[in-house]
Structure 1
Amino acid sequence: MACILGAEKPKINYPLFWEYKIILDASTQKREQIDEILKGENYKIDFSRFSNGGKYMSFNVSVFVKDDLHRNEIFERLKAHFKYVL
């Protein structure tokens, strides 16, 4: 089955844990910054890996979100502090 961009929006059954990948600059940013941004949320953080040169490190972050608005709000909060949020 082919994916057609601009077609029907995927159905997401909320509430659920949504996965984000956050990439930090290893020399200036710390994992604790994620904790501070997500204070009050139900979340889990797992270290993923360092980049080949060790300049970046990544984390998998799973956040319990209630709806589309909440999911996007979490993304925007993270994006405001970190260069790469997927």
Structure 2
Amino acid sequence: MVSAKKVPQRQCVGCGEMKNKKEMIRILKTPEGSFTLDTTGRKNGRGAYLCPCMECFRKAVKGRGLERSFKMAIPKEVYETLEKEMEQLG
């Protein structure tokens, strides 16, 4: 009896949909306190997941989804940097 392998699911902090982990972008808060996009999904630190579209990013900013995930206020400059990184990916 062979069981099907579980596919890791993550919830988007923008739209709230559950999707496959590999389809999503991980936003990482490093132990030093800086924020970056983790394209590999393996870097150390606290992560939050977003769909790879700008619409979900805007929803996460407006609805404070990232701030809830990281349990802290996020400066405007961080959002601007993440937005530039997201535009480069898309």
TM-score above 0.5, yes or no? no
- Which of the pair has more CA radius of gyration? 1
Q: Give the TM-score normalised by structure 2.
A: 0.29
TM-score by length of 1: 0.30
Judging by fraction of residues, say which structure has more strand: 1
